[in-house]
Structure 1
Amino acid sequence: MLFVCRGLIISAVLLSVASHGRAASVWKVTSGAGNVLYLGGSIHALKSTDYPLPSAYNRAFDASDRLVCEVDPKALDESSKGLLKVGEYPKSDSLKNHVDPRTYDYLRRLFKLMDVPETKFARYRPWFLSLMLQEPALNGISETLGVEEFLTRRAQANSKPVLGLESAREHADIFLGLSDRQSEAMLLIMFIPAERGSGSAGNALADAW
């Protein structure tokens, strides 16, 4: 996400922002003309114990004129509906035709443990299954506690404009542009933390953040 203040960026230098001894994924970007923006690493879902956020986030927010998120918050519902539509195969097609047999067998056994019938999960593309399996509610975290959601509420309370870098369509196009192999890899990568005994991919990402 971007916290933008004093106009556009022409040329930039990245500077890490300290947070009273606590590491923070926030950088200050300054142009030769003195224009400034802050670049903040966002996690879309967190736990209540992850709060308060490192103070660098609030300092960057307070110094900025507007907040820019990955997707315009007003378009999130449209984006979710769009992903659901394009994430499903046509009725004449199936996941089994697009992934390695070993991957399919792994998924079949996984979803059986979750009481999800094969006829249901096989309708979806690998990248969409990856998003489904990273659903915050399944991993003990909440989207309402995500960094962007928190800062968006602050922006609304302070009458600061909130914009998006991508439209709902552009967001969906990222996934639509994946080949079968790339889509399958995206799905398999999320299982690596679990195989190593370090929890879900979402929790591993939050820990790294």
Structure 2
Amino acid sequence: MRCSKLFIWKLFAGRFFGWLAGAVFLSQGVLSASVQASPVWKVSNGTETVYLGGTIHVLAESDYPLPGSFQQAYSNSEVVFFETDIEVQSKPEFAQKLVALTSYPDGQGIDSRLSSDTLQKLNDYLQSRGASLQALRRFRPGMLAMVMTNLELQYQGMSGDGVDQFYTNTAIQDGKPRGQLETPEEQIKFIASMGQGSEDDLIDYALQDMYKMREDMLAIKSAWREGDRQGLREVALEPFRENSPEVFNTLIVERNNNWLPQIEQMFVTPADELVLVGVLHLVGKEGLLQQLEKKGYSVTQLN
């Protein structure tokens, strides 16, 4: 499977517009299993515990209720950490900052940075989804590609909140303290830098993947629900690494390395924490789970 760098970012790295949702993808066989693993792990050093939950930032109504392990970890934790502050991202002033930093200056646009073939395909695609190239031409490639993904998901009738939003709302309602591993401004930088210098490649690649989105979501969500580390590597992580090594390093490896010391620091606090991050940050050789295992922490998958 060849998952786009854009699609992976949208699913596993952050949430900026209340984007994305899945339709009914999981089979009854998966959902009806009496005993199944889950995308939540208990990590301990013998005396202190941190729960790591792998999230997808897009879910359908049929994906609820979430695996019970999420609620178990949430109930056992005094603090919940997210990738970033979703509440801040929902504010109008943040949206204004996002658009400003991911747009070209006046008089410039993506159209002058694309080949005639890619430009024509982009224009045709946008028209087919009821959008206008003229209205979007000032977006830098990463932002434009993400808008295209949102258009495609809306066109396919997908909408809804994922795990991060669900537990942000739950923590606010319960008055449970929340933390973040990076600032919303840091996440904007990732979008603004995507595709710079390779605009044609990124947009052409994203256009090819628009029509595979439903198929990709099916495989990823099935592996996610079961906490299938090997399956997630095969269907998403390794294709991402192979097709977009530079973006993979920026969005997955560097951020994991930034987050790991913060997570380790949680083991010296008296409170138990739940850390919710995109599930691809947990798996693979650079993933948080394997890095913690190598450091000698006990890692147990919850059912």
TM-score scaled by structure 2? 0.54
Asked if the contact 1:193/1:204 (under 8 Å) is kept, the reply is no
More strand by share: 1
Deviations 1:155-202 (A, max 9, x none): 123221122222121111112233425665555554455445x62766
**Larger RCO of the pair (alpha carbons < 8 Å, separation 6+):** 2
Q: Which residue of the partner structure matches residue 62 of structure 2?
A: 49
Q: Which residue of the partner structure matches residue 39 of structure 2?
A: 25
Q: Secondary structure of 2:214's partner?
A: coil
Q: Does 1:71 align with 2:84?
A: yes
CA distance in 1, matches of 2:40, 2:56: 12
Among candidates 97, 111, 116, match of residue 126 of structure 2? 111
Asked if the contact 2:58/2:163 (under 8 Å) is kept, the reply is yes
CA distance in 1, matches of 2:42, 2:199: 34
Aligned residues with identical type, % of pairs: 24
CA distance in 1, matches of 2:36, 2:199: 36
TM-score scaled by structure 1? 0.74
Q: Structure 1 residues 62, 171: CA separation in 2 closer, same or farther (over 3 Å shift)?
A: same
CA distance in 2, matches of 1:207, 1:186: 27
Alignment coverage as a number of residue pairs: 189
Q: Which residue of the partner structure matches residue 244 of structure 2?
A: none
CA distance in 2, matches of 1:68, 1:86: 26
- Once the two structures are TM-superposed, the CA of residue 104 in structure 1 deviates from its matched residue by 2.0
Query: For 1:182-201, what aligned pairs fall within 5 Å after superposition?
Result: 187-196=203-212, 199=214
- Once the two structures are TM-superposed, the CA of residue 108 in structure 1 deviates from its matched residue by 0.9
CA distance in 2, matches of 1:116, 1:172: 23
**Structure 1, gaps ≥5 residues long:** 2-18
**Structure 2, gaps ≥5 residues long:** 1-11, 13-32, 225-303
Q: Does 1:140 align with 2:153?
A: no
Q: Which residue of the partner structure matches residue 183 of structure 2?
A: 167
- Once the two structures are TM-superposed, the CA of residue 95 in structure 1 deviates from its matched residue by 0.6
Q: Which residue of the partner structure matches residue 86 of structure 1?
A: 101
